[in-house]
Amino acid sequence: MGKRVALTGNEATALAMRQINPDVVAAYPITPQTDIVQYFSQFVADGQVKTEFVTVESEHSAMSATVGAAAAGARAMTATSSQGLALMWEVVYIAASLRLPIVMPVVNRALSAPINIHCDHSDTMGARDSGWIQLYSENAQEAYDNLIQAVRIAEHQDVRLPVMVCQDGFITSHGLDSIEILEDAEVQRFIGELKPSYPLLDPEHPVTIGALDLQNWYLEHKRQQAEAMKNALRVIPEVAAEYAKLTGREYGYFEKYRLDDAEIGLVALNSSAGTIKAEIDELRNSGVKVGLLKPRVFRPLPAKELREALLHLKVIGVLDRADSFSAFGGPLFTEIRSALYGAQIPVLDFIYGLGGRDFTMTDAGNIVEKLAKVARDGKVEEPITYYGVRE
């Protein structure tokens, strides 16, 4: 049995980083992620890790330094939020395209403008096609567990891709939670030693990093990158099964909550899933057959498994804490609808909670009520709703 402690999501993430003991962490502060690297810097100062802690002048530099360290053969990490991730944009793509197994906690926060420091998913959803694996976390326990598993996933020889581990800003990052943690030695045994592929600082096997790649080979390299993401669909559950043996906590591509016998289904990421679960229990007591699918893995998208989990429903409501500004719904909605292509199931999108606006059990109940009407009438008047907006 692990030890139970009370930690915020940021504290839990910093603790996991200490137990991972990376070779290099390059850091720049940004709300609401700052606590992670601040706590970790104290571990460095106290000599609890052997990490080379690099303070830099921007998030662009933080990712650049992390890329350099990973390319040299080091186990390298950083962390960010919102505008910090946006400033990293150029180098985020480079990290994935160079197949570097970087692990990066991301504390979800709205993108400017206007300036907002609270939670939505516009930052990581903006990076969904950057080539990074994305894991989402409902609470501090999942943020802790996902980060440890992310090391194994990223460093697997069939994957070698960077991983973002996401949690909701302030709601999870600063909210105190009771979680179960592993012993340091258990984490070290689980992640094992890094075995670099083609490290830059191996003089016996010289390599070129960042070479010009024109028409003759670029397509082939992108295809290899795509195959690595496909391989991650196999590796992620393998790592999760091993982690379950160690902890008793099981993780898959997604969590199903009272979904198997449901007629109405909701799909939602991160902390809102906890609110929805509480409302589902209330509605079930009233005879409403509703359930939840909470994606954990958004990249790679487990389309086949998502389809199989949702096909039996009469109506589906997707909750997007981000907008794609495509005039066709949010990013989670379009992916779920694509996975269900050809199925005759109404799928509605509810764009909600932007900029950290509260989402309550009452809100979840109101959405279920709208979905129940569609299930009864078979008519979708408006597939996309900006839920709670004053207009």
Kindly report the CATH number assigned to the domain that includes residue 214. 3.40.50.970
Residues 52 and 135 in one domain: yes
pLDDT of res. 2? 85
Let me know whether 373 and 233 are in one domain. Answer: no
Does 215 lie in the same domain as 156? yes
Please give the structure tokens belonging to residue 91.
């180098």
In the predicted model, is pLDDT for residue 125 greater than 90?
yes
Q: Are residues 234 and 331 in the same domain?
A: no
Q: Name which of 281, 335, 345 is nearest 311 in CA terms.
A: 345
Question: Does 333 lie in the same domain as 213?
Answer: no
CA distance 109 to 369: 29
CA proximity to 251, closest of 297, 292, 310, 291: 297
Per-chain mean pLDDT for the chain: 97
Q: Is residue 143 part of a domain?
A: yes
Q: What is the CATH number of the domain that holds 328?
A: 3.40.50.920
- Taking the mean position of all CA atoms in its chain, how far away is CA 235? 16
Answer whether 121's CB lies under 8 Å from 269's CB: yes
Is position 114 within any domain? yes
* Tally of domains within the chain: 2
Residue ending a domain, among 247, 277, 292, is 247
Residue-wise pLDDT for 266-278, tens only, equals: 999 999 999 999 9
- Indicate whether 236 and 263 sit together in one domain: no
Quote the domain boundaries for residue 85: 3-247
Mean pLDDT of 144-171: 98
Residues 352, 231, single domain; the answer is no
Instruction: State what percent of residues in the chain have pLDDT above 70.
Output: 100
Question: Is 391 inside any structural domain?
Answer: no
pLDDT at 9 over 70: yes
Same domain, 203 and 286: no
Q: Flag whether 41 is in a domain.
A: yes
CA distance 321 to 341: 23
265 and 372 share one domain: yes
Residues 57 and 175 in one domain: yes
Amino acid, res. 195: K
Does a structural domain hold residue 293?
A: yes
Kindly report, residue by residue over 193-220, the tens digit of the pLDDT. 999 999 999 999 999 998 999 999 999 9
Identify the pLDDT of residue 210: 87
Q: Are residues 193 and 219 in the same domain?
A: yes
Residue that is last in its domain, among 218, 247, 276: 247
Task: Tell me the residue length of the chain.
Answer: 391
Alpha-carbon radius of gyration of the chain: 21
Q: Is residue 151 part of a domain?
A: yes
Using the 3D structure, point to which of 228, 247, 266 is the last residue of a domain: 247
Q: Are residues 242 and 344 in the same domain?
A: no
> Full-prediction pTM beyond 0.85?
yes
